[in-house]
Structure 1
Amino acid sequence: MMDLLALADFNLVALHGGFGRAARATGRSKATLSRRVSEMEGSLQLRLFERGAHKLRLTQEGMALYERTRTLLTELDETVNSIASGAARPSGRLRISAPLLFCQLAMGKLAAEFAAKYPDVQLEVTTEDRPVDMVDEGYDLVIRVNPDTDENLYGRKFLRDRLVVVASPDLIRPSANQAVPAVIRGSSQQTSAWDLNTAGRKERLAVNPVLHLSSMIMVRDAVRAGAGAGLLPVSLVSQDLDAGRLLCWGDVEGPEIALWALYPSRRLLNARVSAFLEFLKEVFPSGGPEELAAYVGA
């Protein structure tokens, strides 16, 4: 019969990538971790790690064992903790990956409010615009904009947004067939025109990129300063529009922008992820862009 303690120690070493790292992260003895893993290898008659001079690497068999047991151990631990406490009170570490703009706008405030509501959860948020591998990189939940379909993930859409073309009141809107100076996000994006819907009327606005900037925040600030018109989400410019610092030239034709909370397709969703999903639903009950703008500006 498999020794669950040894299996748990094996998972710790695999997760942290070494005996020393696992010992420092958990407070466990390095010698104990090494002994338990060695005994486990002996009982299975399999080498689970390749031990180099400076690096520890899972063997093919070790990787297979790790991938199949870590979720089971997590669920077992949560079940035992839930029964012991008499309630499914969320506790432990919750790792979240979220895109840069959402982090800049709202994640700090969301994290503070969530931490106050669930003090037993250690929330860790990483800013990532790239696709991450939730399992390999150890994330419990990721927030993404219009994510591709992934059969290994479940998800909930919790916010919607839309793009608008905005400009400073001092920037004169060009007449037909004239290009407007434009502030573009990204260095390699080739943009010659924006398709707009203005009060039910469709038009194509020719653009002449004068600035290429890497973040939406920089684009907004440059547009505010009068450098050119910009293509920005309503949630980011709503306050500027209300205050008259920017004018809306029209909505951009295109698909809806949607923010999704994604999590692994586990049989049992852990209490920490469930709590965060419900928290998002409480904060953004309708999920519209004005709701996000109001939350950011409150």
Structure 2
Amino acid sequence: MDLLALADFNLVARHGGFGKAARASARPKATLSRRVADLEAALGVRLFERGARALKLTEEGRALFERTGLLLTELEETATAVASGGQSPRGRLRVSAPLLFSQTAMGKLAAGFARKYPDVRLEVTSEDRAVDMIEEAYDLVIRVNPEPDASLVGRVFLRDRLVVVASPDLRFPPEERPVPAVVRGPVTPSASWKITTPSGKRWLAVDPVLGLASLVMVRDAVRMGVGAARLPLSLVSPDLAAGRLVCWGEVEGFETALWALYPTRRLLSARVSAFLDFLKESFPHGSPDELAAYVEA
């Protein structure tokens, strides 16, 4: 396969058309069109559907783009690193992180990484949905308890636990009486929470009275004494230590793990490797208390 033709195909696919690709690369549009046509002839498939006003990848073209785009980028980065004598990572690094981690730790983490690697242009987006790394061009994603995905590999860099907390003014209820609860999301009838207390395991009946969009908002409402809530230990450790909140027990079966994931491939970019190492340096033990201390420092 002609690697130059493959590179031109990726250029056109990435920019969504021959004209845009030609302007971005300062190369003749006719040359790019001929190279892509030669690649289609060599493979015996159509890679683009050519309309009057739009250019769209065929199913075969999309598969080729998804499987070769990152590899070509990594080959270029490897050649650049070799030519520059193995200097520090450089270029753009796109990361997707969950909302709570972004609100509490990512700003400080990103700033530290930018200082250590000034030639990397780090871009972080914050959302809880499982983004498509290939389609949306992310280099690395951080996910909480991700579903198994054969196309992704990675490592756990933080673990956390859920605890039930409340204001000291809110009394721990008898077993048969429901407690007002603050929840993330809509206020709907909720099942009881199974918790482990110093005196043993028990079910805590709850009556959701307030639904909020983020766990930080939930924590703030619980501080005001509206109700109890299930929250990550790392988020409430400072409040527990200061006496602003009290812990009623640990929620059974709700350990959370934060994973740093990247696409399965033989070559891993220097930027992603550097970010993974930086996560390990920032959280060497990966414990809830370590994350809480990192946020408070």
2: distance between equivalents of 1:152 and 1:119? 30
2: distance between equivalents of 1:282 and 1:158? 10
1: distance between equivalents of 2:37 and 2:14? 21
| RMSD after superposition | 1.9
Aligned pairs for 1:5-154 (under 5 A) are 6-19=5-18, 22=21, 27-29=24-26, 32=27, 34-44=29-39, 45=41, 47-87=46-86, 89-154=88-153
Residue range with higher mean Cα deviation, 200-209 or 103-112 = 200-209
Q: Indicate conservation of the 8 Å contact 2:48/2:57, yes or no.
A: yes
2: distance between equivalents of 1:23 and 1:227? 60
The one-letter code matched in structure 2 to 1:34 is K
* Aligned counterpart, 1:175: 174
* Aligned counterpart, 1:186: 185
Change (3 A) 1:61 1:205: closer
SS in 1 for 2:135: helix
Q: Deviations over 1:65-101 (max 9, x none)?
A: 3233213312210221111111152111111111111
Change (3 A) 1:200 1:84: farther
Report the CA distance between 1:191 and its aligned residue: 1.6
Q: Indicate conservation of the 8 Å contact 1:184/1:219, yes or no.
A: yes
Aligned pairs for 1:253-292 (under 5 A) are 253-292=252-291
1:229 aligns with 2:228: yes
Q: Deviations over 1:98-125 (max 9, x none)?
A: 1111101111111110011001111111
Q: Indicate conservation of the 8 Å contact 2:162/2:254, yes or no.
A: no
* Aligned counterpart, 1:241: 240
The one-letter code matched in structure 2 to 1:43 is D
Change (3 A) 1:228 1:23: farther
2: distance between equivalents of 1:68 and 1:42? 19
Q: Indicate conservation of the 8 Å contact 1:224/1:245, yes or no.
A: yes
Report the CA distance between 1:128 and its aligned residue: 2.1
Report the CA distance between 1:19 and its aligned residue: 4.4
1: distance between equivalents of 2:284 and 2:199? 28
Corresponding residue pairs, total: 293
TM-score of the two chains, using structure 2 as the length reference: 0.92
TM-score of the two chains, using structure 1 as the length reference: 0.91
Change (3 A) 1:174 1:262: same
Q: Indicate conservation of the 8 Å contact 2:157/2:260, yes or no.
A: yes
Q: Indicate conservation of the 8 Å contact 2:189/2:207, yes or no.
A: no
Q: Indicate conservation of the 8 Å contact 1:181/1:227, yes or no.
A: yes
The one-letter code matched in structure 2 to 1:2 is D
1: distance between equivalents of 2:288 and 2:20? 43
SS in 2 for 1:136: coil
Percentage of identical aligned residues: 66
Residue range with higher mean Cα deviation, 254-263 or 6-15 = 6-15
Q: Indicate conservation of the 8 Å contact 1:181/1:209, yes or no.
A: yes
The one-letter code matched in structure 2 to 1:35 is A
Q: Indicate conservation of the 8 Å contact 1:9/1:33, yes or no.
A: no
Q: Indicate conservation of the 8 Å contact 2:9/2:36, yes or no.
A: no
Change (3 A) 1:263 1:254: same
Q: Indicate conservation of the 8 Å contact 1:159/1:259, yes or no.
A: yes
SS in 2 for 1:157: strand
2: distance between equivalents of 1:277 and 1:241? 31
Report the CA distance between 1:278 and its aligned residue: 0.5
Q: Indicate conservation of the 8 Å contact 1:19/1:33, yes or no.
A: no
Change (3 A) 1:152 1:140: same
Unaligned 5+ residue runs, structure 1?
A: none
Report the CA distance between 1:190 and its aligned residue: 4.2
The one-letter code matched in structure 2 to 1:68 is R
